[in-house]
Amino acid sequence: MFWFSFYPQIEALKTRFRVVAIDGPGVNLSSKPQNIELYKLENLALQIDELARHLSGD
């Protein structure tokens, strides 16, 4: 899903929270993985978890 779809929510939340908007693999300007396994839900969840850990400093 394209991050801009959430623009109204981002605008409302950014004054009180740190907001991160991502494009999933192959969405908008994100690169398109050749390995279709990367599109599986469990792999997408792992990628988001990795990003969250990186951003939180864990």
pTM for this model (two decimals): 0.67
Sign of CA dihedral 12, 6, 53, 57: negative
21, amino acid identity: A
Show the DSSP H helices in the chain as ranges: 7-13, 41-56
Q: What is the pLDDT of residues 31-50, one digit of tens each?
A: 888 888 888 999 989 999 99
Closest CA to 48 of 21, 29, 30: 21
Sign of CA dihedral 31, 35, 36, 42: negative
Q: Which domain holds residue 34?
A: 3-56
Domain count, the chain: 1
Given this model, what pLDDT does residue 1 score? 60
